Structure 1
Amino acid sequence: MSFDGMFTHAMVNELNQNLRGGRISKIQQPFANELILTVRSNRKNRQLLLSAHPSYARVQITQQPFANPAKPSTFVMSLRKYITSAIVEDFRQLNNDRVVSIDLSAKNELGDIHSYTLVTEIMARHSNIFLINKETGKIIDLIKRVSPENNSFRGLLPGDDYKLPPAQNKINPFSTTGDDLTGMSAADIRQKYEGIGLDTSAELEQYIAQGNSFDDFLKSYQENLHPNAANNNKHKLGFFPISFSNTTTEVNAYPSLSELLDNYYLDKARLDRIEQQTKSVTHRLGIILKKDKSKVKKLNQQLSATDVMAKYNLYGELLTTYMSQIKHGSSSITLTNYYNNEEVTIKLNPEYSPSLNAQSYYKKYRKLQNSIPHIKEQLEITTNEVNYLESVLASLEYVDIEDVDGIVDELIDSGYIKKKRKNAPKKRKKKIGEDFKSTNGVEITVGKNNLENDQLTMKLAQKNHYWFHVKDIPGSHVILKTSDPDEQSITEAATIAAYYSKARDSSKVPVDYVQIKHIRKPNGAKPGFVIFEGQKTILVDPDRKLVADLKED
């Protein structure tokens, strides 16, 4: 289901149970559309995520790590000025709409207590987050400022009066009792009641058709939450706050709505954040990749054109042999090919002598013959670059957000992007790779970019260790640190290799594995590129849960 009003209702209850009465200790804006408030409540620090993302807007407690940008945004500066150390008094939902208000009380520099409201409106591309002075009703600041020219309904700039989004004039289902929905279609339910999304209305229609009451359905959102990720009737993974045993097949259950969302949005949000951070880099690499692919196509065409080389050589031989039969000024001649006794018609330049016509074909032959080594060399260089760039772009699909810097450094070292300013602060040297341990205790290390892949495979791994990589698909190098691996460790290392590859969302992924001593890196090869022989291949399914269980803390 989507983050509709019903899910919002359940989430607001969860937030009140965990965060009401807490104190805001830290405010961050790690990405353009997302805000992180660290709330100290019940002796625990919890991260409250407020997202105004056009596709993934939501409110939840998150356990995902976020890096604090070096320079805070204007919005964060405003929030820190007014609500640092504020007390969270209450979470409220606007009727059953996707509008969540957080009531806050904070002291100013004089010690006077003032009231504020932090409002998150979840409305697709119009989603927004506001800090409002509760006493005056005016907007102090907001995460997305919109000029009056682009919004005639209400002001969306600091200093404007805060006005609620347009009302839908529908019934709040939680304000009713005893309503009979028998015979109502999903569309009718959505038309009558506020905050009931497409998936929820379809489930509700089936629920009512089986003789259950609307009141019991609403009660389950209050008292019987069962957060789960499930397959709907179209087999598409979705998330649900309660159990719908008759219309969905449960995949995984979660202890809270927030943990459910963390899992559901893990890859979606990660890819979006990586895209935000690397948009200019990927754009540049995309341009280079497009040119390289065009160049490969042209080089292959040029190589195909050399197929006529043997024919030109033959024409030169035949014209030389039968030169006495050629009449000056002829435009063609038919001669017998003495290799197979077949007749061959050869075009001639009437202005050339018989000797010059023969030399002309020999010249064409030699020109094509001399071009082949250059074409093959350029084809190899360009093809290797295409493979390298595709591996870099693919790695951005499966690495974690904290690994992006390593990929950027790799591109700087490879000359694809410019170095940063000389006075930029130096980054701490990171450990090479990410560590795992198989069920039977064998250490496994994964490279997170091509430079790490090179380091792990060619320098750090021992010759009798085993190397894993998805077959013919961009992915990480995985090292199984043993000379005598058991079958389970082989399967688990292969699963990790499949997970950290472009085939992450596939099944039955072929993974090659071989001892390090059978791997070598050609001179001048791009980072991460190796050749090997004597490998075996195993088919595995990428398994997120298994990978998470094997990961070392």
Structure 2
Amino acid sequence: MSVSHSKLKTLIDDAQRALRGSIQKIDLHSGDVWILSVRIPGETLKLQISLNPPVARTSIAQTLPPKLPADTATMMLRKHLQGARINALELAEADRIVFVRMTKDDESITLIVEHLGLQQNLVLVSNSTLVWTLHPDTRLSLGGIYHAPEPPPLVPDDEKHVSADALEREMVALVDSQLEEESRSQVLHGLKREHKRAKRLIKNLESDLERAVESEEKKRIADLLKASLGSQSENQRSVTVIDYWNDMQELEIEIPAQLSALEYVQELYRTYKRLKSAKGLIEERLLKAYEAESHIASGLEEARSCSVEELQKWKHLIKPSPQKSSTKTTITRLPYLEFTGSSGVRILVGRSSKDNDTMRSKFAKGNDIWLHARDWPGSHVILKTADHSLPDLIDAALLAAHYSKGKNDSTLEVTWTQVKHIRKPKGASPGQVYIAGGQTIVVDPQHPRLNELLAQGKGA
């Protein structure tokens, strides 16, 4: 809580140096601190009003905390107090309430600072009328008269007297300690968040690796089914084959309802090739993920007890959280986000299912390239060119993968075709389309190129 009445009196007695000084400037500083620059003959004093409960006080500042942009309260104080002359600095006899009495032109102004534990407050009184308060209260009615709260019971004051300079140094040390703990808490919070991310990535990669290891099983089933294609009926949904790799035992293979036996064989071979090619990449990424998780875990353990200076070396591990913009805009909302491909071509990404339809029907031409993550919900992507340039196609496919529900997979298939081959069925739900033909490209949703694309995106 704030300083005692006797200590506050010592600080106010020292602040009497500011009497007859003129307030030239008022600034807001971190830690709920306002600094009034008071010009007296020969020097400028910094009259400090701190409302930070552990170190709340009104005093002459020895050091200044970091400056902050002016808020509404600061603007109000500037309006009423800049240019005013300080006539008196008083402390209530029975409570920690400071009265800074001033005159400005023909106006009598009093800034009242209530250092009441957790109930820190500022009140402005002009010509005996209450005109503003930082924290409104039922006893503080604008246009009325200021009423001080009931003073606390009197208690014996047995504190040892210390100088104002010593008190201010004590308060500054407390502020520094508080800032150190806040800094430690922020770093620990950030490292915990990154550690959680690292463990989640490892879990996803281990799952992908298990699937990749199973690729040989996909090929085995495909080989067995392929060998039996000539002996099957067209609509047969299951096939019993001889498993040459398992003591010639019989093996029953179920064929998905939406595929023919031949199509299922082709699908199994495609899956096998994709998983086999991805296995090395997954193993490489998994090794790096293990190393990163171990490094973050070490930082997390050390950050709990190391000095504030040593904390700095772990900050580079913390990625900034996305900041939500509070700025209102009057710009017409477009149904897409826009990015730039390797050759400078525009790449449009639908914002929602409804926006996917609007973007395709109103902002795409027939020869433009349409892309979508295969078998995953996600945004439609339009590559604004008829050219099938591979670098641009990969850029667009990376964005299609990123803006899909499958973005955490190690590899992802993306379907692409020209816009003129896309049809919207009558009565279909938003974003649902039919594709006539189409090709597939496989990308890594975590490829470093993605960060470059996202960094120069528009409309996000």
Task: Give the TM bin, normalised by the shorter chain.
Answer: 0.3 to 0.5
Higher RCO by CA contacts (8 Å cutoff, separation 6 or greater): 2
Q: What is the TM-score of this pair, normalised by structure 2?
A: 0.47
Q: What is the TM-score of this pair, normalised by structure 1?
A: 0.40
Which structure is larger by alpha-carbon Rg, 1 or 2? 2
